[in-house]
Amino acid sequence: MAAQNGNNQAQDREELQSALHRLGLPPTYPQVILYRQSQCPGKGLGLKAARNIPRGTPILAEAELFWIAGTPDPPPVQASKPEFQALSCPVVPHTARARFAANNFEMGKSGRRMKRGIFVTASRFNHSCVPNAHFTWNAASKLLTIHAIVDITQGQEIFLNYHPKDYLKPAIERQQELRTSYSFVCGCPACQPNTDSKRASEARRQWMAGLNSIIGLNQNTHTQGQREQLLANIQFFGRQLQEERLFYPQLADVYGKEISWYRREIQLVINGAGRTRLLYKEEALKVATAKLDLDVVCSGHDSSEVRDTLRTIRELRQV
């Protein structure tokens, strides 16, 4: 068992090294501040890239000021901290609950007892429905990390998506929720009124919402034709996400669905020359490798997302 574990770890390390090599990412980064605080038109203060930041670069790794779970109210001893008091509170009256609600980050998986924490620097990044950076709670390092998910050029503002699960809602609904929670009007390319970018985004997201329902309904279809249609829909959905520049976690989730499809369908086939091969194994590995690259870029090479995908790749290789 110990030998097997050692073997698995060596395989995972090798797989991860290949991913870093493919992506052109160094194993470690110089400890430099990659952002600076600036005035951003219409939004007050935001954080802009102090230099060019290539895709996959860790921009921030920050420990929490404090966390709470199972209650919306931070205890008075935490709420009185000057760093907490200095955070913006868009909702009146400026209660500790309102300030916490406008600034907290999830720490781990959803659930009633999920921790939510205050991260003083991370909370200064503004929102976009088409973000160029992604935040992850890293349970191993116990730090909130932020990675560039596309190349960011010097002077560009760095954006996070505050509501990544809302991406299939129309702009008017996203705007309403952001206004209620944070009191701002989103001016991102997917929300800016009377622009081609917004019109294209609205049409694409509406289309994706419909396709997403069809994919959900057809998860357990049985005829070969229906199963193949399900795969085609999943792949098309992934391409639409890429056009919309929604890479994480949305595209990674779709890759996960595609891998599951292949895993259900992997089977031994015999070709004309009497040789056997595993149908769909290579396809599954190809998508799992693409997912690994995306996980490394957006969540960091030491994230639990990367560990899970490395396990999937190992299991697929052993089929």
Is the separation of the CB atoms in 267 and 278 below 8 Å?
A: yes
By CB under 5 A, is residue 129 in contact with Zn ion? yes
In the complex, minimum distance from the CB of residue 246 to Zn ion, in angstroms, rounded to a whole number: 12
Of the candidate spans 64-72, 108-116, 128-136, 200-208, the one that interacts with Zn ion by CB under 5 A turns out to be 128-136
Which residues 101-120 are close enough to bind Zn ion by CB under 5 A?
A: none
**In the complex, minimum distance from the CB of residue 31 to Zn ion, in angstroms, rounded to a whole number:** 32
CA gap 217, 230 in Å, rounded = 10
Shortest distance in whole angstroms from residue 8 CB to Zn ion: 42
Distance CA 68, CA 113 (A): 9
Q: Which listed range, 12-20, 133-141, 180-188, 245-253, lies at the site for Zn ion (CB under 5 A)? A: 180-188
Instruction: Give bridge partners of residue 53 from the DSSP assignment.
Output: 152
- Site membership for Zn ion, residue 188 (CB under 5 A): yes
The residue (of 244 and 295) whose beta carbon lies closer to Zn ion is 244
**Among positions 118, 191, 215, 259, the unique one binding Zn ion when judged by CB under 5 A:** 191
Q: Which two tokens stand for residue 200?
A: 């294209």
User: 123-158: b or e for each residue (b if 16 or more CB lie within 10 Å)?
Assistant: bbbbbbbbbbbbbbbbeeeebbbbbbbbebeeeebb
| Residues comprising the chain, all counted | 319
Least distance CB 179 / Zn ion (angstroms) = 11
Q: How far is the CB of 182 from Zn ion (least distance, A)?
A: 12
Rounded to 5°, angle at Cα 26 from 133 and 124? 25
Smallest separation, CB 255 to Zn ion (Å): 24
Question: Smallest distance from the beta carbon of 195 to Zn ion, in angstroms?
Answer: 11
Q: Which of 213, 128, 125, 126 is nearest to 171 (CA)?
A: 128
Is 300 in contact with 306 (CB distance < 8 Å)? yes
- Using CB under 5 A, which of the segments 94-102, 129-137, 242-250, 272-280 binds Zn ion? 129-137
Residue closer to Zn ion (CB basis): 168 or 186: 186
Compute the least distance from the CB of residue 107 to Zn ion, in Å. 25
Size of the site for Zn ion (CB under 5 A): 5
User: Which span sits near Zn ion by CB under 5 A: 11-19, 31-39, 108-116, 181-189?
Assistant: 181-189
Q: Smaller CB distance to Zn ion: residue 167 or 262?
A: 167
User: Shortest distance, CB of residue 158 to Zn ion, whole angstroms?
Assistant: 15
> Could you give the CA distance from residue 225 to residue 228 in angstroms, rounded to a whole number?
5
Strand partners, 137: 144
Give the interface segment with Zn ion, choosing from 71-79, 98-106, 187-195, 202-210 (CB under 5 A): 187-195
User: Which CB atom, from 194 or from 220, has the smaller least distance to Zn ion?
Assistant: 194
What SS3 string covers 220-265?
CCCCHHHHHHHHHHHHHHHHHHHHCCCCCCHHHHHHHHHHHHHHHH
Closest of 86, 104, 1 to residue 37, by C-alpha: 86
How many Cβ atoms from other residues are within 10 Å of residue 86's Cβ?
A: 9
215 binds Zn ion (CB under 5 A): no
Stretch of residues binding Zn ion (CB under 5 A), selected from 2-10, 69-77, 126-134, 297-305: 126-134
Contact 63, 142 (CB under 8 A): yes
> Rounded CA gap, 176 and 183, in Å?
9
Binding footprint of Zn ion on the chain (CB under 5 A): 129, 186, 188, 190-191
